[in-house]
Amino acid sequence: MFSIFVSQLFNTIMKLTQAFLVVIMGFVAVGCSEPQPLIINYTDTDIEYSGRLDSTAGKVDMFWSGSTVKLNFKGRTVSALLQDERGDNYYNVIIDQDSMYVLRPDTAKHYYVLASGLSNGNHCVELFKRTEWDRGKTSFYGFKLEGEPRILAKDEEKKRKIEFYGNSITAGYAVEDTTGKDRPDSTFTNHYLSYAAITAGHFDAQRHTICKSGIGITISWFPMIMPEIYDRVDPEDPESQWDFSLFSPDLVVINLFQNDSWLVNMPEREEFKTNFGDSAPSDEELVAAYRDFVSEIRAHYPENDIICMLGNMDATREGSKWPGLVQSAVDSLQDDKIYTYFQPFKETGGHPSVEEQQIMADGLIQFIENNIEW
């Protein structure tokens, strides 16, 4: 009997020991497991945004060229929760201001890994919208950090601010089409390589860009003109009005009239018939339209410098009347803080290449350094 009791007692102790070890190992496993990801909602104040963005529906919607989202952080992996309206937008993903690749979000909402295998140090990730608003909007919901994650404070606000209004030249349309064929596929458009982005980067200025390929002041290659959409958050929604008090630029650059210079000579187009009827506008009417648009910009920014620019396509070709029209409009405003700057004609066909955008940026930068005090 005693031996049976000892045997049973031994078995009981062994079972209790095994159970105890299982519990201990469980605690050890939990203690050694990978920390949970850090989810950062789009509303977090340490996320840095740039551009006209809509954050009224539980997300941030990005429309305009050059819209950016930026985060400083620690972690091994960073992902972004995105959903694209049409799957035809492209973003430059910039890591630590050192490496860059192109991301094309699709129409399904999910996390996209932006960088992984990062060192255990401070990092920065930036999403930069290369493409135009006609490719649809992209919705941003937030970031996810993994690998000892931590949010770092965003950079100090930039001291200078520039706002650009422009057409395909400003958008960087087909800038990466090395064939020179101006192919419309959005893969070749890259606002990051436009004179506007380069100029803003040179001055370390925050930038808002309101642009669209084919747009004009009096007529466009599509129904809308710049005076109708310049004050919108969503370019396609007339009710989506931008609050101009949210961004007060030190400098405004207007680079328009290139498309007008072509389309006023095309009476067969529906846009011509709608906007002008049977007769092309006179030079006086063109000057008045340009003056009125600049006056609207001035009304929003009473004290700021404005540069009325043309360049570098054939509106500035030798003998072109369009620089003179812009000059007449500016002269009539009698405002010593409104300047004109005309980029020389690039002497090549098609839209500006990477090199031609850089030349245009160099010229504008020099003009700003010579004339603008900020």
Per DSSP, the three-state class of 146 is strand
Nearest to 68 by CA among 145, 1, 149, 124: 124
Tokens (6 digits) for 77:
């992996």
**Span 46-61, pLDDT tens digits:** 999 999 999 999 999 9
Q: Which domains does the chain have, with CATH numbers?
A: 38-152 (2.60.120.260), 160-371 (3.40.50.1110)
User: Within 10 A of 99 (CB to CB), how many other CB atoms are there?
Assistant: 9
Rg (CA), the chain: 28
* Cα angle for residues 163, 343, 193 (degrees, 5° grid): 55
Amino acid 33: pLDDT: 58
More confident residue, 318 or 13: 318
With beta carbons less than 8 A apart as the criterion, state whether 318 and 345 touch: yes
Half-sphere exposure of 242 (CA within 13 A, CB side): 24
Confidence of residue 35 (pLDDT cuts 50, 70, 90): confident
pLDDT digits (tens, 9 = 90+) for 201-237: 999 999 999 999 999 999 999 999 999 999 999 999 9
